[in-house]
């Protein structure tokens, strides 16, 4: 029961902090003081106090988009272990459930964008669909590499079976899985070099353009869902690299690992420019190829 309460508390309270660490890291690299690390919490509180504006051309899909996106992200977070090797909800195949819950949130975000009738937001939804179709194979290949040692499509079994000793030297497929997961994290969370979460230029926007018509609490749900999604992907990376014990010690180690992932994301965004849209598919296909090679090595090790 304690582990479940701790898991839910981490999932609800800490995602905006990850975004704050990324933003602070980028500010430091740019030579600016930047907003405080807790600024995302202030932004969410401000938006929750505001009213929402709805176009007369929209239907219930527009209002449902932010709610479903947030619910799907939180639901995925309940399947992903955080402060221990187990999550509150787990079963054989929960790895696939996480991927499709995130896909469900993406679908409703795109549907809400299309529901506005704006060609601008339709353009963003089209780009999101195209790049998601390339990112999902890479994600499933990374999950497959992680699940091969356990022979189970369950996060709890996979984390217990991971050979952390001689991680890099004896198991390069796990290093490949970490790189693929990080590439998918950048793509799925609209981070550099795939997308710029701070831009408002028509030619460069992917995710940001889909949520331009949302306001007030709806925009708060969108931002919170994005933070939870980043938190979930970062949590997967932390568990892939570190064995997380149960209890407070595991929670502390998990938060340290989470901070390191946020710092790395901020450094990558500070040192890399956004790729041209025509180069993004190559980036994602390259991640899939790396994942396929890692999966082949993992299967050969298991067979041997």
Which residues, including other chains, have CB under 8 Å from residue 67's CB and lie 6 or more apart?
221
The first and second tokens of residue 41, run together, are 């919490």
Q: Which phi and psi (to 5°) does residue 56 adopt?
A: -70, -15
Largest CA distance in the chain: 63
For residue 11, the model assigns a pLDDT of 93
Whether the CB-CB separation of 237 and 261 falls below 8 Å is answered with yes
Whether the CB-CB separation of 194 and 206 falls below 8 Å is answered with yes
Q: Residue ranges of the domains in the chain?
A: 2-7+50-303
Euclidean distance between CA atoms 268 and 251, whole angstroms: 26
Q: Is the dihedral of CA 229, 233, 238, 243 positive or negative?
A: positive
pTM value? 0.92
For residue 170, the model assigns a pLDDT of 60
Q: What radius of gyration, in Å, describes the C-alpha atoms of the chain?
A: 19
Q: Is the dihedral of CA 98, 103, 109, 111 positive or negative?
A: negative
Classified as helix, coil or strand, 71 is: helix
Count CB neighbours of 165 within 10 A.
9
For residue 41, the model assigns a pLDDT of 95
Q: Which helix (H) or strand (E) holds 30?
A: none
Residue among 183, 208, 210 nearest 268 (CA): 183
Question: Using CA atoms in the order 15, 18, 22, 23, what is the torsion angle rounded to 10 degrees?
Answer: 60
For residue 263, the model assigns a pLDDT of 93
pLDDT digit string (tens) for the chain, length 304 residues = 777 888 899 999 999 999 999 999 988 888 888 889 999 999 999 999 998 888 888 899 999 999 999 999 999 999 998 888 788 888 888 899 999 999 999 999 999 988 888 877 888 888 888 888 889 999 999 999 988 888 888 888 888 877 755 555 567 888 889 999 999 999 888 887 777 766 655 555 677 778 888 889 999 999 999 999 999 999 999 988 887 887 788 788 889 999 999 999 989 888 887 878 788 889 899 999 999 999 998 888 777 6
For residue 205, the model assigns a pLDDT of 66
For residue 196, the model assigns a pLDDT of 72
For residue 221, the model assigns a pLDDT of 94
Whether the CB-CB separation of 15 and 231 falls below 8 Å is answered with yes
For residue 165, the model assigns a pLDDT of 52
Whether the CB-CB separation of 112 and 61 falls below 8 Å is answered with yes
């Amino acid at each position: 029961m304690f582990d479940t309460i701790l898991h839910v508390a981490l999932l609800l309270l800490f995602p905006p902090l990850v975004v704050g660490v990324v933003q602070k890291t980028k500010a430091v690299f740019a030579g600016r003081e930047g907003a405080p690390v807790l600024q995302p919490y202030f932004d969410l509180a401000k938006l929750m106090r505001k009213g929402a504006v709805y176009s007369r051309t929209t239907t219930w899909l527009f209002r449902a988009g932010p709610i479903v996106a947030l619910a799907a992200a939180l639901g995925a977070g309940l399947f992903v272990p955080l402060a221990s090797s187990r999550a509150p909800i787990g079963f054989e195949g929960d790895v696939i459930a996480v991927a499709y819950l995130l896909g469900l949130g993406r679908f409703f975000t795109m549907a809400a964008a299309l529901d506005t009738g704006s060609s601008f937001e339709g353009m963003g939804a089209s780009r999101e669909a195209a790049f998601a179709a390339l990112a999902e194979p890479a994600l499933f290949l990374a999950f497959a590499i992680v699940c091969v040692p356990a022979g189970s499509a369950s996060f709890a079994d996979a984390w217990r079976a991971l050979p952390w000793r001689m991680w890099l030297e004896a198991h390069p497929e796990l290093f490949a899985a970490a790189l693929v997961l990080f590439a998918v994290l950048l793509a799925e969370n609209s981070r550099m070099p795939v997308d710029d979460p701070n831009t408002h230029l028509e030619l460069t926007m992917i995710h940001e353009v889909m949520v331009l018509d949302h306001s007030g609490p709806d925009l708060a749900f969108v931002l919170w869902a994005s933070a939870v999604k980043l938190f979930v992907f970062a949590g997967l990376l932390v568990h892939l690299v570190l064995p997380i014990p149960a209890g407070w010690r595991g929670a502390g180690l998990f938060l340290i690992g989470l901070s390191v992932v946020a710092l790395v994301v901020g450094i990558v965004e500070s040192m890399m420019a956004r790729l041209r849209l025509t180069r993004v598919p190559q980036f994602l296909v390259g991640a899939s190829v790396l994942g396929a090679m890692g999966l082949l090595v993992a299967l050969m090790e298991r067979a041997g």
